[in-house]
Structure 1
């Protein structure tokens, strides 16, 4: 099948759509936090790409990392943590607005204490996407890798909280998945490896990959 090239407009539309979605999500969470008892949401658990990666990429052999200045210049201690930001990232803001905690830690490479595990972590990896090839191109964590980490997290949660409390936390937590930009911006528009797809067929493939992720996640949850 032919490939439709959208040029810079494609990048702009993808980035704008992601920004609008994040703003909507933050406003939705802000409203929910005001309208409900915050204690009803015990933890925030995050999957995705660089938008919500707080430092998982620091611990893997990837070309996509930002654990160096000027990243983190507005973060606590002006420290570059691996967040793809000068300060907090959306998952930190959501957790704070929900009254869960100030910062959502990376699952990898972090000395997680009981409180960290009880209140949620992030498995996100900068450079990833729903298309498995997106993460493979930069040696980031695939969405399947992140699900495997979630499986490991559940075991640790059960060990410290007990089966009943762990089950309650898993069932009542807020889950955020923020990914997909890199599928279009990097894998489809920039690399030559998906040229057998035109734009509409590639989007359909990504949607199918996303659907598979959510089906597996719901089964694991």
Structure 2
């Protein structure tokens, strides 16, 4: 799905940083949620998933799912489209800046990556990817399994730059973001008949969950220890889904949102279980559904209506 994030999403960014802080501490902070504990080191940000955190990997593959053209990017880097599915920065850019790592997280497939880019983090994400392997295949984008292969390549490149010991230190102190599920629900399940022939919503969200859990465990096996996993957003409230499934008044499509809520409840429980199962790990569920749905239902709390409409448009 193609979301547009603008400066009005700063409140969402703070929500993400709050969840991020939970990765580093067993206590809940009461003040200054963007300030990390003094004994914590964050070396890099690495991102996997879909368009929400794809800064331009799709520019370099054969797919129609691209955003390297106007009006995308009109509020970022001089108004030149970068391939971000956004008018401006995306969540990983906000977080990299909040953590004082760098101003934005580049695409792994960017031909102009510098050694410092590699050492401080990149995104492997691909717009329209999903936990369901069929989702990426239908859209001809980079699947999560392929993103893991790119991560393996990345590890070897970092080893060549700084050696094995420093690479292991970087990997252990990186924050990993995983964002997927929207395209599975909207495009693969509701958008095509392929999965609905064999799955109802409960069984399809089980399929998504199994794939998500396997991916997290593979990521852990490659050295990841601090992993933040986004839940699915209120996908039924995206303009395209309101048009397709929201009736004559274009209300939020309830069945899409119900699928997202069901998946999120399963994902949250599974991530809690994985934290207990994987030694020295912090695997955190980030609730995106609740703050975004509140923005949609109570727009006056978050700024002017024109800004919010721009924030929510495709």
TM-score, L = length of structure 1: 0.87
For 1:124, the equivalent position in structure 2 comes to 125
Report the alpha carbon displacement of residue 63 of structure 1 after superposing the two structures with TM: 1.6
For 1:16, the equivalent position in structure 2 comes to none
Contact 1:127 1:135 in 2 (8 A): yes
For 1:175, the equivalent position in structure 2 comes to 176
Bigger Rg, structure 1 or 2 = 2
Return the match for 1:206 from 174, 184, 208. 208
Q: Where do residues 53-202 of structure 1 align in structure 2 (5 Å cutoff)?
A: 53-195=54-196, 196-202=198-204
Cα distance in structure 2, aligned partners of 1:38 and 1:71: 39
Return the match for 2:15 from 4, 24, 45. 24
Residue 52 in structure 1 maps to residue 53 in structure 2? yes
Query: In 2 relative to 1, CA 164–79 (structure 1 residues): closer, same or farther, beyond 3 Å?
Result: same
Instruction: Write out per-residue CA displacement over residues 45-80 of structure 1, whole angstroms, 9 at most, x where no aligned residue.
Output: 000100000000000011210100110000011110
Report the alpha carbon displacement of residue 113 of structure 1 after superposing the two structures with TM: 0.9
Query: In 2 relative to 1, CA 38–118 (structure 1 residues): closer, same or farther, beyond 3 Å?
Result: farther
Instruction: Write out per-residue CA displacement over residues 147-200 of structure 1, whole angstroms, 9 at most, x where no aligned residue.
Output: 000000000001001111111000110111111110001000111110110000
Cα distance in structure 2, aligned partners of 1:23 and 1:118: 25
4+ long deviations beyond 6 Å: 19-23
Give the aligned CA root-mean-square deviation in angstroms: 2.1
Cα distance in structure 2, aligned partners of 1:28 and 1:198: 32
Cα distance in structure 1, aligned partners of 2:40 and 2:106: 20
Cα distance in structure 1, aligned partners of 2:209 and 2:165: 34
Instruction: Write out per-residue CA displacement over residues 115-167 of structure 1, whole angstroms, 9 at most, x where no aligned residue.
Output: 10110000000000100100100101100000000000000001001111111
Cα distance in structure 2, aligned partners of 1:35 and 1:213: 27
Q: Where do residues 29-40 of structure 1 align in structure 2 (5 Å cutoff)?
A: 29=20, 33-37=34-38, 40=41
Contact 1:47 1:122 in 2 (8 A): yes
Cα distance in structure 2, aligned partners of 1:214 and 1:163: 23
Question: Does the residue aligned with 1:100 lie in a helix, a strand or coil?
Answer: coil
TM-score, L = length of structure 2: 0.62
Contact 1:22 1:90 in 2 (8 A): yes
Instruction: Write out per-residue CA displacement over residues 64-117 of structure 1, whole angstroms, 9 at most, x where no aligned residue.
Output: 101001100000111100000000000100111111111100000331111101
Cα distance in structure 2, aligned partners of 1:72 and 1:92: 13
Higher relative contact order (CA 8 A, sep 6+): 1
Cα distance in structure 1, aligned partners of 2:36 and 2:78: 33
Question: Does the residue aligned with 1:144 lie in a helix, a strand or coil?
Answer: helix
For 2:43, the equivalent position in structure 1 comes to 42
Return the match for 1:219 from 209, 216, 221. 221
Structure 1, unaligned stretches of length 5 or more? Answer: 1-10, 12-18
Structure 2, unaligned stretches of length 5 or more? Answer: 2-8, 22-31, 224-314
